[in-house]
Structure 1
Amino acid sequence: MGRSNSTDPVRNNETEPEIFLLTGLSSQPHTRVVLFVVFFILYLITILGNGLIVLLIIADSHLHTPMYFFLGNLSLLDICYSSSTIPQMLVHNLTKRPTITNARCFIQMCISLFLGVAECILLAIMAYDRYVAICSPLHYTLIMNRKKCGWLASSSWALAFLLTIVPSFTMKIQLCGHNVIDHFACEVQAVVKLACSDITANVDLMSGSSVFTLLVPFAFILVTYVRISLAVLRIRSTHGWRKAFSTCGSHLTVVGIFYGTAMAMYLRPQNRSSEQDKFVAIVYAVVTPMLNPIIYSLRNKDVKEALWRLMGKNMGPKG
């Protein structure tokens, strides 16, 4: 994909294709129309839900805290992540022969990987924020000051760039005329199946990268929540228990959904079926970004109150 070493014009069967065909989710016209409607609704909910959370966090001073700062970053990531795939999927559902150019395919693959890794790292940072809030409440504002929060958030974006975009330009994959991608998007796992050269080194690189970008942050989150659980067990008041679970429950739910589907996609054996890949990809590319704002808004009293304040309503007497 723009990185082939094939230069012999005589060997046309080894010429890298300029256009890729995407099989999509269905070959039936009526089914594609139904899928268009479903995914359009899900995308609309995703944009409105995450956009509303970003707006509330910016507009309401009560939400100018580290936890909501990182939540705003997560919502922004979800908007970008879903927008890197769903609009193209919507257009292709109304097209008989969905196609994408080599360059656009490579760009989409890089952007999706970059945003996915950034979310992995950001979820780990959010776990650290909850750890400090519960285990060191008296020093929370001192430790999680504005400068440190900004540095942590920017680090998630920068580290994701170094782990995905930079290696993508060093990978050598030769696609010898094969141009049918059995997927609805340029997913890296689907694209490498078209390779006709030895991609052992690339597969090893991707596996190692997946371990580092998925398992390391996930292990950090697990260790963090073990320490949080031990701290919560020492809390005597029921109010303290309820507050701890309310602040951590939403984050744990998001972590479970996101990491569960991402690991199912990138840490499973390569010989799985394309239909399984498509289903898992839909969950973490379409469903998860839609669920995140719903999970946080339904379980979070502060977000609900901020919404009412934004609508000009009073939730009660101000203390």
Structure 2
Amino acid sequence: METYNQTSNDFILIGLFSPLGTGLFLFIFIVLILLMALFGNLSMILLIFLDTHLHTPMYFLLSQLSFIDLNYVSTIVPKMAFNFLFGNKSISFIGCGIQSFFFLTLAVVEALLLTSMAYDRYVAICFPLHYPIRISKRVCVLMITGSWIMGSIKSFHTAYALHFPFCGSRAIDHFFCEVPAMLVLSCVDTTHYERTAYASGVIFLFIPSSLIFASYVQILLTVLQMKSKEARKKSFSTCFFHMIVVIMYYLPFIFTYMRPKKYHTPGQDKFIRNKDVLDAMKNMLRSSFLHKMLQVKSLKYILLSIFIINI
């Protein structure tokens, strides 16, 4: 890794691409894929908004996930692209804090929305007669609003992380400002902060993921008791794709945020936490429209092999 001394309050983002021709090719290819992902998510949001048949809690939650995807790209990609194109890898202290805050907010909101979607499917399959009461529009709005509020509150701890003194190098071996990658640069003991972050991870990662898996165990038992093969197939299709999304979302976050600082090796989180790769199977639910949109979104999986080669 290149050596960057502490000459200002700015941080340096090492980035994801090499300055050579291969890096430029990968950059262009990834930008094209991300533009397609942007188009796919925006199209999904507009279609759900315009089609009254899709004005249901499930699709409302789905549109929120697509909205989060759009914000992820807006938070990370512009700065990453600017740094690569103009060779300026610096990011201001305040800019780094803002980027970290919004990224973590979106991450927590998505975690809670995935939990809400699991509850939606649990009620729809296990208690179909109670669904209009348990998952009303009011309840759906409350779940979404609560997710955003909790996400914003959770993300305020990034301000505390920025108060740590950063001695010597201020080069973050990442393509955006993420707290675990920043803690590695701190020259003081961050054990207390890490314990707090670990407890926060238990609350916002481990507990929601446990609730999701518990709900899907119950869903699976209910589906197996269905007499209609078509109903079983439809239910399995919905739950299977949702579980893939949950696994691909929670495992990398748990791996990144619930490890001590000493176990964070250079470049490791840069690969693990590439959000645009890990979100490739987002919004894979039961309608034919969603499966068609998936053909666009799944193209982001191509990035996975590229990052493996590049890191």
Quick check: TM above 0.5? yes
Residues 97 and 159 in structure 2, CA contact (< 8 A), matched pair in contact too:
no
Bigger drift between 22-31 and 110-119 goes to: 22-31
Matched residue, 2:112: 121
SS at match of 1:21: strand
1:291 to 1:302, Cα distance in 2 relative to 1, 3 A: closer
What displacement does 1:113 show? Answer: 0.7
Q: Percent identity?
A: 36
Matches of 1:19 and 1:46, distance apart in 2: 31
Instruction: Give the one of 261, 268, 275 matched to 2:267.
Output: 275
SS at match of 2:86: coil
Matches of 1:46 and 1:288, distance apart in 2: 13
1:17 to 1:213, Cα distance in 2 relative to 1, 3 A: farther
Matches of 2:292 and 2:193, distance apart in 1: 49
Q: Does 1:286 align with 2:297?
A: no
- Give the counterpart letter for 1:275 in structure 2: G
String of CA shifts for 1:155-182, please: whole Å, max 9, x gaps: 11111111122x2334441123532111
SS at match of 1:195: coil
Aligned Cα RMSD in Å?
A: 2.2
- Give the counterpart letter for 2:288 in structure 1: K
- Give the counterpart letter for 1:169 in structure 2: A
Matches of 1:109 and 1:132, distance apart in 2: 35
Matches of 1:20 and 1:215, distance apart in 2: 31
- Give the counterpart letter for 2:176 in structure 1: A
Residues 124 and 220 in structure 1, CA contact (< 8 A), matched pair in contact too:
yes
Matches of 1:49 and 1:274, distance apart in 2: 33
* TM-score of the pair, normalised by structure 1: 0.84
Q: How does 1:34-53 map to 2 (within 5 A)?
A: 34-53=25-44
4+ residue runs over 6 A deviation: none
Matches of 2:166 and 2:110, distance apart in 1: 30
Instruction: Give the one of 2, 5, 10 matched to 1:19.
Output: 10
Residues 16 and 176 in structure 1, CA contact (< 8 A), matched pair in contact too:
no
SS at match of 1:194: coil
Q: Does 1:85 align with 2:76?
A: yes
Q: How does 1:1-319 map to 2 (within 5 A)?
A: 17-165=8-156, 167-171=157-161, 172-270=163-261, 271-282=263-274, 285-293=275-283, 295-296=284-285, 300-303=287-290
1:38 to 1:302, Cα distance in 2 relative to 1, 3 A: closer
What displacement does 1:57 show? Answer: 0.7
1:277 to 1:252, Cα distance in 2 relative to 1, 3 A: same
* TM-score of the pair, normalised by structure 2: 0.86
Matches of 1:305 and 1:65, distance apart in 2: 19
Matches of 1:61 and 1:233, distance apart in 2: 32
SS at match of 1:273: coil
Residues 36 and 94 in structure 1, CA contact (< 8 A), matched pair in contact too:
no
Matches of 2:18 and 2:213, distance apart in 1: 42
- Give the counterpart letter for 2:51 in structure 1: D
What displacement does 1:303 show? Answer: 4.1
What displacement does 1:49 show? Answer: 1.1
- Give the counterpart letter for 1:54 in structure 2: I
User: How many residue pairs align between the two structures?
Assistant: 287
Matches of 2:8 and 2:64, distance apart in 1: 37
SS at match of 2:11: strand
- Give the counterpart letter for 1:74 in structure 2: L
Q: Which has the larger radius of gyration?
A: 1
Uncovered stretches (5+) of structure 2, i.e. residues with no partner: 1-5, 294-311
Residues 42 and 290 in structure 1, CA contact (< 8 A), matched pair in contact too:
no
- Give the counterpart letter for 1:288 in structure 2: L
What displacement does 1:267 show? Answer: 2.8
String of CA shifts for 1:262-301, please: whole Å, max 9, x gaps: 223223453232222111122xx111334325x44xx632
Uncovered stretches (5+) of structure 1, i.e. residues with no partner: 1-14, 307-319
1:100 to 1:196, Cα distance in 2 relative to 1, 3 A: same
Residues 57 and 72 in structure 1, CA contact (< 8 A), matched pair in contact too:
yes
Q: Report 1 or 2 for greater relative contact order, CA contacts < 8 Å, sequence distance ≥ 6.
A: 1
Matches of 2:239 and 2:175, distance apart in 1: 34
